[in-house]
Amino acid sequence: MTRTGESIRSLMEQLASDHPSERCEAIEAFAQRRHPRAVRILHKALLFDPSDLVRC
């Protein structure tokens, strides 16, 4: 698995265990470390509405 794939898997596991209020912080931290395209893929994979991030 690629480093980005491992990071996405790790983030998904973290999101599953985090309180909803902590999820935005986790996604923002991921977005700062990775290419924006990876974050768009993550949104699709997790069925996040990108506008949710604006409200965080």
Contact 42, 27 (CB under 8 A): yes
| pLDDT tens, position by position, 20-49 | 667 667 777 777 776 677 667 766 766 655
Distance, CA of 31 to CA of 48 (rounded, Å) = 14
> Which pLDDT value is given to residue 30?
72
> Which pLDDT value is given to residue 1?
57
What is this structure's pTM? 0.37
CA dist list (Å): 23 to 10, 13, 29, 45, 49: 13, 11, 10, 15, 13
